[in-house]
Each structure stands twice: as structure tokens, then as C-alpha cells.
Amino acid sequence: MNYKILAVLILCIGAVAVTGCMGLGTSGTDTRTTSVQRALPLANYDASSIYAEKMSPSGGALPIPTSANAGATGIDDTKIIKTGYITLEVKDVSASVESLKNLAAEKSGYLSSTSMQTGYNNRLAGTVIVRVPAAEFENLLAGVKALGTVKSVSTQGQDVTEEYVDLVAQKTSYQNQLAQYNEIMKKAVKVEDVITVQQQIDQVQTNLNRIIGRMNYLDNHIDLSTVTVTLEEPEPVGGETGYNFIATINEGIAGFFGMIDAIVIVLFTLLPLIIIGGAVYGIYRWKKGEKPVAAPSELAKEK
């Protein structure tokens, strides 16, 4: 009998020990499962719980980190936009435009735009915008200066490194958000959840496109420097040469009509004063009772 009691006690102790071990094992498993869920929430949560966790408390999109907390951006060099402005006096504007075109081609660049117009004394003038790789910026300036007499020159270097770093950080953040929302969309079941997540995806995609567009603009102006060249022909010595009879007639006609315009302006300006003065003079004569002067024939009859 004592052996039976002892056996029962041993079985009870063994059952308690086994239960404790199972409890410990389950607790360890839950801890590992929780850590996995926290590391990979999109793989283990349902759509509604993921959406609630990934949205901000105010219901908006995920926060966007600035360049200060964005981590490494991979930007090691300085981003500089180089621009130059040169005014040249040249003998032949058309020939100088062709020279600029050839010079730009030698520097692996191109003419972005060209315009020419005729100014005073039939002097031809033009404006040419040249784009060349940033490494050829100084060489291009030297080549342009050699085409004529330099009247003015200015250069500018705009440092956009800070803006570029911030754009890279925002781009990375938006790309991460987009990937998260796409995973959320795969888990979404309810129609309202799908609509809400799609709205967030559209908003993030719009912001991402804006960032990418700005970065492309900066990349283009960083890689290719811009030089604006203004070309002017010299003024003839002594001004316009030769006598132009037609021009003299035109100037005389212009002066004649200018005089008529001046008379008309003065007349209409003084017209109110003339009207008022005439009215005052008529009233004055009426009050004085002046009679009109008699004709000589009437005076002879009276005599």
C-alpha cells in the first residue's frame, strides 16, 4: 500500500514538472513569435491591424524623415550649378553664332537656344545659350572670350548639395512608404480599407514623382553648365553714314503731325476755359446794357 501511495506521488510530481516545462516552452515560443511579428508585421498581421499600426494617430500618412534622420544618402561630392553671362562685341553676329555652335560641339555640348534681331542703325544683335558639361565650363568661357571684344562677363556657382541630400532622403522615405502600402493593399479585404489605402498610395506616388522631377532638374543643371552669350555688332564710326532724303521727309512729316497733335491737345485743354470766359463776357455785356455799334449808313440818316 505504501508503494502505491509513493507511486501516485511520483506520478503527480512528474505531471507537475511536465506541465511546467510545457509552460516554459510555450512562453519562449510566444516571445520569439512576437519578435518575429514586430520585425515583419506585414507577413503575420491581418490587413486591418497592419493598416491601423502603419497609419499615424491623426489618420494621415506615415511621417517623412528629413535629411537629418534619413541616414546615409550616398552623396559624397558637392552639387554645384554653374552659370555664366558674357556680352561680346563682334564684327559679324551670324558668323559668331556658327563659331559658338562649333565651339559647343568641341566641348561635347550644344546650343540650347538662339535668337537674332536688328537694332538701332541696322545693327544686328543676338543671344545664344550654350550648354556644356560642367568640367568644360571654364574652357568654354575662354573660347567664347576669344571670339570678340568682351564688354561684360559674370559667373555664378549655386551650391544645391543641401537641397539634393534632403530630396534623396525624402525619395527613400516615399519609396519605403509605397512598398509598405502595397503590402497593406495585398492584405486588405474590406472595400473601405482598399479605398483608404489606395488614396494613401496615390498621395505618396504623387509626392514621389514631384521629388524625382526636382532631382532630375537639378541633375541636368549640375551635369550641364549654362552660358548665355549676348552678341553685338560695333556702332559705325561717326554714326549713320550718308544722307538719307527719305528719312528726312519722314522726320518732317512726323514733326508736322506732332505739331498738329500738340495744337489739338492745347485746344481741347483750354476749351472749358474758353466756354466759361465767353459766358462770363456775355453776362457782363448784358448787365451793362451795351448796344451794338450802329452801321455808318444809319448814322448818316440820323443826321
**pLDDT tens for residues 211-237?**
999 999 999 999 999 999 999 988 765
Instruction: Give the cell for residue 71.
Output: 541616414
Q: Would you kindly state where each structural domain of the chain is located, as residue ranges?
A: 2-39, 40-239, 245-291
pLDDT in the model for residue 8: 40
> What mean pLDDT is predicted for residues 94-120?
91
First to last CA, the chain: 188
Note whether 227 and 137 are within 8 A (CB). yes
pLDDT in the model for residue 9: 42
* For residue 65, pLDDT beyond 50: no
pLDDT in the model for residue 123: 81
Q: Please indicate, yes or no, whether the overall pTM of this predicted structure exceeds 0.85.
A: no
- List C-alpha distances in Å: 279 to 266, 269, 282, 286, 288: 20, 17, 5, 11, 15
Q: How far is Cα 222 from Cα 249, in angstroms, rounded to an integer? A: 56
Q: How far is Cα 47 from Cα 187, in angstroms, rounded to an integer? A: 4
**pLDDT tens for residues 11-41?**
444 444 444 444 434 333 333 333 223 223 3
